[in-house]
Amino acid sequence: MSAGFVFTAAFRRFCSTSRSVFQPRVRSQLDYCEMEGLTDVVLISCGSFNPITNMHLRMFELAKDHLEDTGRYRVKKGIISPVGDGYKKKGLIEACHRVAMAERAAETSSWIEVDPWESLQPEWVETARVVRHHYGKLVAADQDKDEVDTEKYGKKRRMPEDVAELAGRYGVVCVTRGGSDAERFVQQSDVLWCHRRNIHMVREWVTNEISATHVRRALRRGRSVRYLLPEPVMSYIADHRLYSAESERRNEGVTLAPLARYTEEEEDDGAS
């Protein structure tokens, strides 16, 4: 979304087969008084991470602070899920490099991790399916089972259905960018408006408009990107000589996978 960084924010009820809320006893970081009824949350961010920047990590911290400041949630974990090569975005380098850079960036965090599952899929995977995959892993871990199948639906899915599932079943945190109007975006969408109470808007008052596109441009031109990227990521890029004029032409002229898929669905609907 152009409104800003968007998380699928929840897996909020993953702790029993009845999906009752897990209610740990915790101590408040603000007043050190004991509280009950906090809902455990896992944050997941799907994206290109081409390359991962300091702002990608920063948005996890912003989302965590926002949710925990409500007094209703406790963020247990953050998951970075780089998209696979099947996304076919122009300038998208190989997933193995993007995952490796993300892993090096996450080494500085005690609660953010990288999951390569999405990046290993041969075709582009919808965000809703990625979230179902991770939700299933959490449910399985809580139930002490090998796996819980929450990835597939019997019928063919449409984008509005996926949006409704993400916002309605799991929840969304949107970290807004300068000049954007995320509230208006929700106002103009009937699907999002229906689930507006499950969408958390977070404003970054210390504005930092780091763009991976601008970073790649600087790298192609031999300019410094120090303090825009984590140091281990910079070292990895230098060691593997990533982000050249040639790499930026990758997938040039190829239709972005989501656009191709949803265009095909619209044509199928028109023919039926």
Render pLDDT for 26-64 as a digit per residue (tens, 0 to 9).
Answer: 333 333 333 458 889 999 999 999 999 999 999 999 999
pLDDT digits (tens, 9 = 90+) for 82-138: 999 999 999 999 999 999 999 999 999 999 999 999 999 999 999 999 999 999 998
Task: Give me the long-range contacts of 121-125 (CB less than 8 A, separation at least 24).
Answer: 121/84, 121/86, 122/84, 122/86, 123/84, 123/86, 123/257, 124/83, 124/84, 124/86, 124/87, 124/88, 124/257, 124/258, 124/261, 125/83, 125/84, 125/86
Look-up of token digits 């075709």: 123
Average pLDDT, the chain: 82
What is the reported pLDDT for 114? 98
**By C-alpha distance, which of 85, 21, 63, 40 is closest to 202?**
63
Distance CA 156, CA 137 (A): 23
pLDDT in tens, 208-237: 678 999 999 999 999 999 999 999 999 999
* Residues 5, 45 contacting (CB under 8 angstroms): yes
With a cut of 90, say whether residue 66 has pLDDT above it. yes
